[in-house]
Amino acid sequence: PKGIHAPAPKEQQKKIKIPRPPNAYILYRKDHHREIRDRNPGLHNNEVSVIVGNMWRVEQPHIRERYFNMAKEIKRRVLLEHPDYRYNPRRSQDIRRRISPHLK
């Protein structure tokens, strides 16, 4: 029968989620997050982010440049692998707020 090999209708095909390429700060935070957590085990993630953010602001220019170059390279690879990629932020009505357990 013909219907067996027919592609699924558009609405049934699962859309592949391509992750947004990280920027320079995200790469820097990823590299330094564990180090900060290990030195300060009781800190929450938002406190770690503040510390890493302050570190990023005063970081030496050649270090920052290295992360900017890494981010450009990752973005270039994502665009090569997915030429139709376009960042498409979720609409505010689609975002569901997460409530942290310690805020309940």
Nearest 10 degrees: Cα torsion 53, 57, 62, 65: 70
pLDDT band, very low/low/confident/very high, at 88 (cuts 50, 70, 90): confident
* Residue 93: pLDDT over 60: yes
Cα–Cα distance, 79 to 21 (Å, whole number)? 9
pLDDT of residue 21 exceeding 80: yes
pLDDT at 14 over 70: no
> CATH for 24-83?
1.10.30
Residue extents of the structural domains in the chain: 24-83
Q: Are 86 and 19 in contact (CB under 8 A)?
A: no
pLDDT value of position 45 = 92
Nearest to 32, CA basis, from 3, 57, 69, 61: 57
Average pLDDT, the chain: 84
**Under a CB-based contact definition with an 8 Å cutoff, are residues 22 and 74 in contact?**
yes
89/60: higher pLDDT? 60
- Cα separation, 67 vs 25, in Å, equals 7
